[in-house]
Chain A
Amino acid sequence: MQTQDCMAPRTARIRSVTNELASGEVFTWTLEHTDGSALAGNPGQFNMLYAFGCGEVPVSISGRTPNGQLQHSIRTVGRVTDAMRTLTAGTEIGVRGPFGTAWPLDEAAGRDLVVVAGGLGLAPVRPLLQLAAADRIHCRKTLVCYGTRTPADRLYPDDLRRCAAHPRIEVRTTVDRGDTGWRGEVGVVPRLLLQGGFDPDHSIAVVCGPEIMMQFSVDALRQVGVADRWIYLSMERSMKCAVGLCGRCQWREHFICKDGPVYRLDQIADLLGISEL
C-alpha cells in the first residue's frame, strides 16, 4: 500500500453478517469492494475498519469465503465495535489496509504446523485452518490447539469440524469450565501442547490470543523443545494510524502496526511478559 494514500479509507460494502456466538458478542463480516471485487490481504494481516461517524478499529483478517471474499470477525467490546454490531448487510464502511506482517506460510513447508489459539485468537489463525483443510499449506501435518472459557465460547465450529475430518489435521480443544454436554478436555490450552503429537525439531508454531495465554503457550512449546526461531506470535496492541507514524502501538523499538503484528519469538522474546511495556 502506498504511504500517501494509506490514511484515506476506501469504501467497502458489508456483503453479509454472521453471528459466531449465540450471545451475538462476536460476528463476522464478509466484505467486498463497492464494485463487488474482493479485498486484498494475507493471513495474519489486519485492516483498519471504519464505521462512518463513529470510529476506526484494527481487525485481523479472519478468512475468506469459498469465492474469495475477505472476512473479519469482530468482538463487541466498546464504542466502535458496539456500533459495528448494529450494521447490516449492504451497509458501506471505510477500510484502510491491509497492514502488517503475515503468518509465514512458506516456512511451514515440510514441517508440522502447530496452531495455538485462545478465545477470539482463533480469528487471525482461521485463514490457516481454511488453507490447511484445502491442502494449500505444504506442511507435513497440522495440529490445532484451541482453548476457550466454556464450550459456548468456541468459534467457527464448522471450520474446526472440517479440519478434524481431514486426515492430516488434528484438532484439540479444551475449555476452562465444561457443561453437562461437554465430553472434551477441561484444562488450559498450554496443556494440549504437552500431549505431544508433533515433532518439536521440525515444527513451526503460530500462537494467537491474549498475551498472557501466549506467554504460557510459549513456555509449553519451549518445554517440549520447539526453538524460539520457529514460534510466531500475533501481538495486538491498541493502535491508531497503522503505518508507524503516531507511536500509539510502540513497543520499545517496535511499531507493532508495521513491524508486526506477527513476530518471530526470537525477535521479541525479551519484551514478552514485561507488563510495563
Chain B
Amino acid sequence: MNPALEQHRLMHGLNDAERTRLLDCAEPHHYAVGTPVLRQGQAANRLVLITAGRVEVRLSGAGARVTSLETLGPGETLGWSWYVPPGRWQFDSWALEATDTLEFEAGCLRSAMSQEHAITEAVLGELVHTLAHRLTAARLRLLDLYANPGS
C-alpha cells in the first residue's frame, strides 16, 4: 500500500482485513488540469481522497459570481455529501493541476461501515477532522485575519 495512504486517518485503527475491505471500495482516478472533479447539484456518490495535485472547491449559483472557497491538496478528502442529506454535491470542484485521487464508492462504503465498526470509526473520524478543519477555516475568514486591528 502507498505509505501516505497507510498513514492516512482513513486507515487509522484498521487491521489488514478491514483495510482491504475499505480499499475494495476505492478506485484511482486522474483529472487533467481544468476538469471538474465534482459538480454542484449532482448525486453524491463517492468520497474523494486527493493523492496528488490540487483541487479548488467553488460555490456557484444561477446568476451568482463563482466563489472560490478553498484549495485542497494531497492527503485531503472532499465529497462528503453522500453521507449527508440530500445526497447531492453542495459545491463544484475543479482540478487546478493534474490531479490523482482515490475514490471510494458510496454504496460500498456504506455497506462496509454497516458491517465493520472500525471502518465506521475511521471514516467518521476523517469526516469530523475535515469538518472541524473547514469550520475553523471559515471562522478565521470571518475574523478577517489580515485586517488592520483598528479597521
- Tell me which residues across on chain B come within 8 A of A183, comparing CB atoms: 96
Q: Which of A54-62, A207-215, A261-269 contacts B (4 or more CB under 8 A)?
A: A207-215
Known contacts A188-B140, A195-B73; is-contact A147 B145 (Cβ 8 Å) = yes
- Tell me which residues across on chain A come within 8 A of B145, comparing CB atoms: 118-119, 147, 176, 188-189, 209-210, 212-213, 216
- Tell me which residues across on chain B come within 8 A of A75, comparing CB atoms: 148
Measured as residues with beta carbon below 8 angstroms from the partner, the interface class of chain A is 20 to 34
**Is A185 an interface position by the 8 A CB rule?**
yes
- Tell me which residues across on chain A come within 8 A of B140, comparing CB atoms: 188, 190, 216
Q: Contact between B146 and A210 (Cβ–Cβ < 8 Å)?
A: yes
Q: Contact between A77 and B148 (Cβ–Cβ < 8 Å)?
A: yes
**Is B16 an interface position by the 8 A CB rule?**
no
- Tell me which residues across on chain A come within 8 A of B144, comparing CB atoms: 149, 176
Q: Contact between B149 and A177 (Cβ–Cβ < 8 Å)?
A: no
A254 to chain B, nearest CB (A): 18
**Is A191 an interface position by the 8 A CB rule?**
yes
**Is A71 an interface position by the 8 A CB rule?**
no
In angstroms, Cα B145 to Cα A147, docked, is 9
**Is A130 an interface position by the 8 A CB rule?**
no
- Tell me which residues across on chain A come within 8 A of B62, comparing CB atoms: none
- Tell me which residues across on chain A come within 8 A of B24, comparing CB atoms: none
In angstroms, Cα B141 to Cα A267, docked, is 28
**Is A9 an interface position by the 8 A CB rule?**
no
- Tell me which residues across on chain A come within 8 A of B146, comparing CB atoms: 118-121, 147-149, 153, 176, 209-210, 213
Q: Contact between B56 and A186 (Cβ–Cβ < 8 Å)?
A: yes
Q: Contact between B150 and A77 (Cβ–Cβ < 8 Å)?
A: yes
